[in-house]
Amino acid sequence: MSWLVAAVVVTIVVIWIGVHRLEQRHSQDPKTWPIVGAQLEALRNFNCLHDWYLAFFNHRHRTVKLSVISGTIFFTVDPLNVEHILKTNFPNYPKGERAHHIVHDFLGDGIFSSDGEIWKKHRKVASLEFSNRKLRDFSSDAFREGALCLTKILQSAASSKKIVDLQDLFMRMTLDSICKVGFGVHVAGLSPDLPDVPFGRAFDRVNELTTLRFFNPFWELQKALNIGNERVLKQEVETLNSFTSNVIQKRRAELQGQKETRADLLSRFMAYDEGQPGAFTDQELRDAILNFVIAGRDTSAITLSWFIYCVCTHPHVADKVFEETVEVLGLQERTHKYDFEEVAKRISYETLSRMHYLHAALTETVRLYPPVPRDPKVAFGDDVLPDGTQVKRGNRVAYVPYAMGRMEFLWGEDALTYNPDRWLQDGVFQPESPFKFSAFQAGPRICLGKESAYLQMKMTAALLLHFFRFQIASGHVVRYRITLVMPMANGLLVHVLPR
């Protein structure tokens, strides 16, 4: 009888699965299985996840429903939905407790992971400082110094015909810069010998392992047992905590007795409500540091990496950036008449503001390769999106900049083409609605560091393309890696050639 019971059970299960799949035959969303939903499909496509999401969108199907073990997620590329989520009904779409819990070991209660009063506190101080001209001038000097260090390393590589990993160099440069601008610390990752930077290495590893938590329903068990990825994550977080603790203690000692607050962001945060109940604790300062690093280091370095990849595949863009730099900086004669320092000295906030084509080329890079490819929220209460999608309390809702940048209904038939001219009218850069070009968010959470990021990226790109050409190394495969941001999985290996 046992074999008969087993046969009946198997038959019922097969029929159940068959009916479940049959009911979805007309669905445009990812197909699901009983109980596990589309979890297995998502994991199977993990390495190309952004393109897997992209495949479900079109001009008629702008919101995709993904059912997984942990619940329902709606992904949208509809600008009206994006505006509703980020602005119109902003209070209903916080980051949410689940996301906060997953990233807390990494980002704590910083500006990117928190909601409510904690977020408002971090946002208030950051917004005041990013509008401070003193910080902008301080940042310009730090960015120029970093770009010059990078230029000299690339000159050596060009002379020796050595292949370099530009993404690694950009990451080193932006880490040096954010540590100087953010915390007044000299990391020296771009020293000629390219030393190992334990903090940067640990930061990348924690970023990657934290992302995997979103797809691993058993991560909390692994953390409790201190096994697998969670054991590694714990060790790497300790490296981050040691670095930030040393930075905070050193800065407190340096600020003792000083009457004037230093220009770096950490000093400004320390000065906020000093001696009052609202002052930042060391834990809050630790969280602020790591949030600034992911904002000021990863996003700019990733965009610069994809930018060089784009100009390698579209060399005429690099030539036009070069010509614009020559014209705006007043370099009437060609490169060999000027040294690196002379050209860098002429690159300022004011001159960069006149480089419209360079701004367009970087923005076109962000359109196709946004450093933050998707941004999830959670519904605080039931809601209906402008396209009619019914959202229940607890559902996650994410807008997807990576897919939005590839939608023909938003950008035309050449949406997949890298074309900086789409951003220009009579040679002048024309911005798009942040609900269409959503890489920098919009509404109350719009990116505070957008101007600072463009400043560093434009300063670096203008200097590099003035002196060098780049060619992707033969056989090098360029693809993204799945983390909280979108770096290149294999780096960016290039030949460096003098212009």
Q: What is the pLDDT of residues 269-318, one digit of tens each?
A: 888 777 777 788 899 989 988 888 888 888 999 999 999 999 999 999 99
Q: Longest C-alpha distance within the chain, in Å?
A: 94
Question: Rounded to whole angstroms, how far apart are CA atoms 449 and 430?
Answer: 20
Q: How confident is the model at residue 19 (pLDDT cuts 50, 70, 90)?
A: low
Alpha carbons within 13 angstroms on the beta-carbon side of residue 456 total 31
Task: Report whether 144 contacts 163 (CB < 8 A).
Answer: no
Which stretches of 36-161 are DSSP H helices? 39-44, 49-54, 79-83, 97-107, 116-130, 133-160
Task: Report whether 499 contacts 335 (CB < 8 A).
Answer: yes
Total Cβ atoms within 10 A of residue 159? 10
Q: What is the pLDDT of residues 374-400, one digit of tens each?
A: 999 999 999 999 999 999 999 999 999
Alpha carbons within 13 angstroms on the beta-carbon side of residue 82 total 24
Task: Report whether 464 contacts 150 (CB < 8 A).
Answer: yes
DSSP readout, 255-302? HTT-SSPPSSHHHHHHHTTTTSTTSPPHHHHHHHHHHHHIIIIIHHHH
Q: How confident is the model at residue 257 (pLDDT cuts 50, 70, 90)?
A: low
366 phi/psi in degrees, rounded to 5: -65, -35
The pLDDT of residue 304 is: 98
More confident residue, 336 or 223: 223
The pLDDT of residue 259 is: 65
State the virtual CA torsion across 445, 442, 268, 238 in degrees, nearest 10. Answer: 60
The pLDDT of residue 484 is: 84
Q: Which of 11, 95, 143, 179 is nearest to 380 (CA)?
A: 95
Segment 131-160 mean pLDDT: 89
Question: Rounded to whole angstroms, how far apart are CA atoms 29 and 42?
Answer: 12
The pLDDT of residue 23 is: 66
Q: Is 310 annotated as a binding residue?
A: no
Total Cβ atoms within 10 A of residue 2? 6
Question: Rounded to whole angstroms, how far apart are CA atoms 368 and 437?
Answer: 10
Which amino acid does the sequence have at 271? Answer: A
Q: Where are the domains of the chain?
A: 31-92+375-409
Task: Report whether 140 contacts 177 (CB < 8 A).
Answer: no
Top-level class of domain 31-92+375-409:
alpha beta
The pLDDT of residue 235 is: 96
- Give the angle 138-142-143 at the CA atoms, nearest 5°: 115
The pLDDT of residue 251 is: 84
The pLDDT of residue 268 is: 80
Q: How confident is the model at residue 432 (pLDDT cuts 50, 70, 90)?
A: very high
State how far the alpha carbon of 208 is from the alpha carbons of 144, 229, 340, 423, in Å: 30, 10, 36, 33
Question: pTM of the predicted model, to two decimals?
Answer: 0.90
Question: Rounded to whole angstroms, how far apart are CA atoms 267 and 288?
Answer: 12
Is 333 a residue whose pLDDT tops 70? no
459's enclosing H/E stretch is helix 450-467
Question: Rounded to whole angstroms, how far apart are CA atoms 78 and 85?
Answer: 11
The pLDDT of residue 387 is: 96
190 phi/psi in degrees, rounded to 5: -95, 20
The distance in angstroms from the start CA to the end CA of the chain is 82
